[in-house]
Amino acid sequence: MKTRFSIIFTLICMIILGGCSTDKPASQPDSNTDKQQESSTESSETIELTISAAASLEDTFNEIKPIFEKEHKNIKLLFNFGGSGALQKQIIQGAPVDMFFSAAEDKYDELVTQGIIAENQGMDMLKNTLVLIIPKDAKNSIEGFQNLADLGDGKLALGTPEAVPAGNYGKQTLEHLGLWDKVQDNIVFAKDVRQVLTYVETGNVAAGLVYKTDALTSDKVTVVSEADPESHDPIVYPVGIIKATKHMDEAELFYQFLQEDDSKDIFEKYGFTVLE
């Protein structure tokens, strides 16, 4: 009888103590855990950065992209390559761009003047050289700029001067040499410098004017002459962050990365001169 009473008394005490326990119910969420999960979700969010860049930068950025993305796994780089003038107009018209890397100072400076890029969020980064190229297996007698006066039925590929900086530098050079009026009827205008390179590679034109960096990427063309730097405006590449970017922190990370040694080595590998 006493044993049965002891067992019943013990069970009642256990029930009472269990009801008074300070332990949280298993289903009650832990606020710290929730915060950690939210933080983890935010840090794993992928940010897409859009960079509008001169067509002549395509090879360098294709090599820089995986290195940067490996270091910054939550940032994905999207590139919009083309003629600097066309890219500039897109930005002025409100294209969602985070950074602009131009092959001409005037196209870039206009965005600074309009307040689209802040002066303290940009810099002159690279220099390039203008060259005259011909198809590698060409049988014509073009050995330099002066031969362009005797193209006959041959064609000269050139970027549209108003939209393509390389085309503008090319026009300046031809005017400086007194050749512009003599070659105008032979010119085939292109949307960007890479299209000029393609025209020459395929033999559709007798010659073309491109940047040295473009010519170095191809084994299908021959450089016959370099333009005198005094014959055209300096070929300078400025880069800057667009004020309206929604990803300023990430844009600044990439902007700083472009100034690091790994990026500089790649620019130099492709024939650019890095400005200090």
Span 104-113, pLDDT tens digits: 999 999 999 9
pLDDT at 153 (0 to 100): 93
In whole angstroms, how far apart are CA 119 and each of 34, 95, 123?
42, 20, 8
Report the SS3 class of residue 273.
Answer: strand
H runs (alpha helix) in the chain: 2-19, 31-43, 58-71, 84-92, 105-113, 165-176, 180-183, 193-201, 212-215, 248-257, 261-269
Which of 51 and 23 is assigned the larger pLDDT? 51
In whole angstroms, how far apart are CA 264 and each of 60, 68, 216, 237, 258?
10, 13, 17, 13, 7
Per-residue pLDDT tens for 122-176? 999 999 999 999 999 998 789 999 999 999 999 999 999 999 999 999 999 999 9
What is the C-alpha separation between 24 and 47, in angstroms, rounded? 39
Beta-carbon contacts of 189 under 8 Å, excluding residues fewer than 6 positions away, are 158, 159, 160, 167
Mean per-residue pLDDT, 248-269: 98
Percent of the chain whose predicted confidence (pLDDT) is above 70? 84
Domains present along the chain, CATH in parentheses: 47-127+237-274 (3.40.190.10), 130-226 (3.40.190.10)
Tell me if 57 sits within 8 A of 81, measured CB to CB. Answer: yes
Mean per-residue pLDDT, 84-92: 97
Mean per-residue pLDDT, 21-35: 44
Task: Grade residue 44 by pLDDT with cuts at 50, 70 and 90.
Answer: low
pLDDT at 21 (0 to 100): 43
Residue 252 predicted with pLDDT over 80: yes
Task: Grade residue 276 by pLDDT with cuts at 50, 70 and 90.
Answer: confident
Reported pTM: 0.80
pLDDT at 191 (0 to 100): 96
Residue 36 predicted with pLDDT over 80: no
Binding residues: 56, 84, 166, 193, 211
pLDDT at 175 (0 to 100): 98
Residue 45 predicted with pLDDT over 60: yes
What is the chain's mean pLDDT, rounded? 88
Neighbours of 97 (CB within 10 A): 21
Residue 182 predicted with pLDDT over 90: yes
Binding residues for molybdate: 56, 84, 166, 193, 211
Mean per-residue pLDDT, 15-19: 46
| Closest by Cα among 205, 200, 151 to 174 | 151
Task: Grade residue 245 by pLDDT with cuts at 50, 70 and 90.
Answer: very high
Report the SS3 class of residue 207.
Answer: strand
